[in-house]
Chain A
Amino acid sequence: MGLDIRWPIGLMFSLLGLLLAGFGIVKKSESLSMGINVNLIWGAVLLVFGVLMLYGAWRGSKTGSK
């Protein structure tokens, strides 16, 4: 199928990552669980995952592989 699924996955998780991490920075006190700022940390993880997916999709679109 013409759409590489890595684009939507990458975009969505990058977006959610930014959202959570941003929320974690701005509302630090509301983001704590077990003494960890989980929104910030997990947001960063989601962002890294999303960017990796986007990178894969971008490379795939260059070489034509999926």
Chain B
Amino acid sequence: MQPIQLQWIDYTVLIAYVAFVLGIGLALARYMKTSADFLTSAHSIPTWVTGLAFISANLGALELVGMAASGAKYGIATAHFYWVGAIPAMIFLAVFMMPFYYGSKARSVPEYLKMRFDERVRALNSIAFAVMTIFASGISMNALAKLLNQLLGWNYNMALWVCSGVVLLYVLKGGLTSAIYTEVLQFFMIVLGFAPVVYLGLKDLGGWHGMNHTLQTAAAVGSHYAANAWTSAWQPLLAGSSHNPMGVDLFAMVFGLGFVLSFGYWCTNFLVVQRAMAAKNMTAARNTPLVAAVPKMLFPFLVIVPGMIAMALTALPDKGYRIPPPVIAHECYEKAVAAVKSADSAQVPAAVKAVTDALGKKVNDGKVAAIVADNAKSKLTDKQIEERIYNSITDNDYDGVILSLVKKYCPAGLLGLALTALLASFMSGMAGNVTAFNTVWTYDLYQAYFAPGKSDNHYFWVGKATTVMGILLSIAAAYFASMYNNAMDIIQLVFGFVNAPLFATFLLGMFWKRTTGTGAFIGLFGGIAGSALFHALTLSQGNVPGVKGGYLGVLQTYPSEMAQNFWLAAFAFTVCFVLTFGISLATKSMKTDDELRGLVYSLTPKTVDHSLAFWQRPAFLGILLLIGCALLNIFVW
């Protein structure tokens, strides 16, 4: 995409936001007296705040960019990541799992695992989690710095260090509370920053129906899918994996995504669970994911619809829009323009080749030939040629969709608001990861294995030092991600291996008192190894064996990477479940029933909600939310 010019008003919005974020950190600094204040917010935050932070910690910028990209590639079916892949798991967390997390007085998810099983399981989970948070925050910061570099012309290093510095300052001052507060601020920034883009885009296309109509016409004419492939969420899926652009079948979607991946993320990932654990009491903690589920349910309209708008605009030539091509340095465009100008109409094939070489990307030969011919007839200006070359590149960079729409519809002012929202979500993504890393490192690794039994003041200072360390490690991870092209693929692959089996461990641990530490430990290891093996033996269509799988041989080929991922998750879960179950039966539990009280479902008195009116009870609210979610699904059936 071509660079965006910011005006003073845009910079003012950006600076105002940064000033407020730093101000919040400074204002909170005086309340930070103990390690618990700093690392766990001392259970003091109201429900609506933890709820919005819960959702916001997950709504990182990469999600924002990625969901718009998927909206363009797959259409409204992308909403399954929300309605199938999040809402049910969030409700399950609230109604069934939160009582154990909050009631056990554990300060982190790994600590819960130690109470329920033993040190081995805690160590495995906390080390894996600590490494993942660092890489997640590094990837996010790398993407941010790259974006600022490409779009605004900022220096990569400066962008990386300045943004990290801002995060460091406010997390160091205000700890987890600071991170949670800025996440809430970011939530409103994103909603209020992107809502106008969606509105203007839909208005441009003649509203919701206008957009759908355009997409249906385009799908019927330009693809081998049915007309509703981009506009219906369920019908193309039910028709089978070759009938929807995701290439996914119903089982992979519902079991792989909806059960394994979704519950594995929402119910066990400390990054989000930590927000609920910061709530002021049990009811507030249980209601946190429910509060979060309301905006989560509606987010597809904010983050996926832009992708569909981009797709529809591309199908209408008179709108003068295309999904942006990959970012190409300006010098390459200049070379390509020079190649067009020096060619005459007799040398069209040579000119096409010269343009392709200059850009390093595939171009539409016919379009380039037309530029050469038109230029030979009547001289075009450099700008005209460049614009037409831009439009002749055949590759799409779907990740550029959201910003290209912001650029198209937002004048100065609104542009600053939307860009600040994006920047805010990158920074709060880093803050979220760093605060989770903090707690796990300080309590689950440092206090547990390196220096137990020190004063609280000691751990308070370690928490602060870990913040600095976490940020520095994230920056290192960002450089690592920027150096290797497929670093991100590899990291995400490893995340997948580690996360996929996790929910089986929690499910058995929380709901079957017979589960033993040895069973859980070996089951987890087996699940991780199982996913690695599965990946090594399967491939998705169009990929060559290597990072994308199949390096030990190809036993099974899936229609898409997404299908491969969903099946991998389903497989890893099953391996972990069966191993944990079998080994638990064969080994003896080291824990007495008394020790497991409050940690296991059958040994814990049911949470009494009688003091609450029925409409305030988590179970009732959960059912309401499920009905709402079902209605949304019917709306885009």
Is B145 in the interface zone, CB < 8 Å from A?
no
Complex CA distance for A2 and B417, rounded to whole angstroms: 29
Residue pair A9, B45 in contact (C-beta under 8 Å): no
| Other-chain contact of B411, A2, A16, A30 (Cβ < 8 Å) | A30
* Residues of chain B in range 1-19 having any CB-CB distance to chain A below 8 Å: 9, 12-13, 16-17
Give every chain A residue within 8 A of B413 (Cβ-Cβ): 19-20, 23-24, 31, 38-39, 43
* Residues of chain B in range 191-205 having any CB-CB distance to chain A below 8 Å: 192, 196, 200, 203-204
Is B435 in the interface zone, CB < 8 Å from A?
no
Is B136 in the interface zone, CB < 8 Å from A?
no
* Contacts known (A19-B9, A33-B411); A1 close to B192, Cβ less than 8 A: no
Residue pair A13, B192 in contact (C-beta under 8 Å): yes
Residue pair A15, B16 in contact (C-beta under 8 Å): yes
SS class, residues of chain B in contact with chain A? helix
Say how far A4's CB is from chain B's closest CB, in angstroms.
Answer: 9
Complex CA distance for A33 and B348, rounded to whole angstroms: 40
* Contacts known (A3-B24, A8-B24, A20-B413); A33 close to B200, Cβ less than 8 A: yes
Is B486 in the interface zone, CB < 8 Å from A?
no
Is B27 in the interface zone, CB < 8 Å from A?
yes
Residue pair A1, B31 in contact (C-beta under 8 Å): yes
SS class, residues of chain A in contact with chain B? helix
* Contacts known (A31-B413, A46-B192); A12 close to B17, Cβ less than 8 A: yes
Is B41 in the interface zone, CB < 8 Å from A?
yes
Give every chain B residue within 8 A of A20 (Cβ-Cβ): 9, 13, 413-414, 417
Complex CA distance for A16 and B417, rounded to whole angstroms: 8
> Which range contains the number of A residues in contact with the other chain?
20 to 34
Residue pair A8, B414 in contact (C-beta under 8 Å): no
Residue of A nearest to B45 (CB): A1
| Other-chain contact of B28, A1, A31, A34 (Cβ < 8 Å) | A1
* Contacts known (A19-B12, A45-B192, A66-B46); A8 close to B411, Cβ less than 8 A: no
Residue of A nearest to B30 (CB): A2
Say how far B483's CB is from chain A's closest CB, in angstroms.
Answer: 37
Is B602 in the interface zone, CB < 8 Å from A?
no
Is B208 in the interface zone, CB < 8 Å from A?
no
Residue pair B196, A3 in contact (C-beta under 8 Å): no
Complex CA distance for A30 and B414, rounded to whole angstroms: 11
* Residues of chain B in range 166-197 having any CB-CB distance to chain A below 8 Å: 177, 181, 184-185, 188, 192, 196
In the complex, besides A9-B185, A27-B412, A30-B411, 10 extra interface pairs with C-beta distance below 8 angstroms are A3-B181, A12-B16, A16-B16, A23-B9, A32-B411, A33-B411, A34-B203, A38-B200, A39-B414, A43-B413
| Interface residue ranges, B against A (CB under 8 Å) | 9, 12-13, 16-17, 20, 23-24, 27-28, 30-31, 41, 44-46, 49, 177, 181, 184-185, 188, 192, 196, 200, 203-204, 409-414, 417
What are 11 sample pairs from A and B whose C-beta atoms fall under 8 A apart?
Answer: A3-B28, A8-B23, A8-B181, A9-B188, A15-B16, A16-B13, A16-B417, A23-B9, A31-B411, A33-B414, A38-B410
